[in-house]
Amino acid sequence: MQSFDVIFKRACKRHGGEKEVAAQLSKPKSKAALKKIADDRWLAGMTRAVFQAGFSWKVIDAKWPGFEEAFEGFDAPRVAFYADEDLERLVSDKRIVRNGAKIKATITNARLVAELAAEHGSAGAFFANSNPENYVDLLDILKTRGSYLSGGSAQYFLRSSGVDSWIMSSSVVAALKQAGVVDKAPTSKKALVATQDAFNQWREESGRSLTEISRILALSADG
């Protein structure tokens, strides 16, 4: 497996130097900042990621005030107890994208947020205390306990919320293949463990976050 230094130097060579690469990096939020995020914002973030998947992000952005109104501010305990009449109301609400399956997913994810708040004091506390070295476990929790929160949807939700995360874009997959970590997009448990191990090693070598390493990988990829 290639060292992080080799990958970083390749990214710098492809993009004009260290300053140019640094300008394209972002860092995750601190644990304290994550804890301050209200439960309704976690549900809102999940919902935005779910509805953006396979759809125009610009349309979702334009309709987002309508989503906030239709889902009553994404109050998790309230949405978690939506009944059939609420579902009927939402699938007819022109303020939002009327996708029945994703509306149902929002109700399921409201239950997840409410459960995390009950278990950890708040959803923010749960996400703040997640460990980057076990990021695949966090992804698994979202996949198994949530709805439509797998793959890119979960990763984009976490990144947009400020949680330390990787996003498995085509460029990151290409970089992982080039580094000798995987031979295709990591979806199996074995491949995900290998990816996590690689990121953990690069974190130790560089002192950087998953968020930064993920972006540097993307910048280093050939093509």
Determine the Cα–Cα distance for residues 46 and 121; give it in Å rounded to an integer.
Answer: 19
Kindly provide the b/e burial profile for residues 57-85, where b requires at least 16 CB atoms within 10 angstroms of the residue's own CB: eeebeebbeebbebbeebbbeebbebeee
Closest by CA to 109, choosing from 163, 164, 42, is 42
| 16-64 confidence digits (pLDDT tens) | 999 999 999 999 999 999 999 999 999 999 999 999 999 999 999 999 9
Supply the pLDDT for residue 138. Answer: 97
CA distance 51 to 57: 9
State the pLDDT at residue 151.
87
CB neighbour class for 54 (10 Å; exposed up to 12, middle 13-18, buried from 19): exposed
Q: Model pTM?
A: 0.94
- What pLDDT is recorded for position 22? 97
> Could you give the residue range(s) of every CATH 1.10.340.30 domain in the chain?
32-133
Q: In CATH, what class is 32-133?
A: mainly alpha
Which residues make Cβ contacts (< 8 Å) with residue 196, sequence separation at least 6?
A: 133, 134, 135, 136
DSSP state of 73: G
Please tell me the predicted confidence (pLDDT) of residue 223: 58
CA distance 24 to 7: 15
198 alpha carbon, distance to own chain's centre: 19
- Kindly report the backbone phi and psi dihedral angles of residue 57, in degrees, each rounded to the nearest multiple of 5, phi listed first: -65, -35
Show the low-confidence residues of the chain (pLDDT under 70). 223
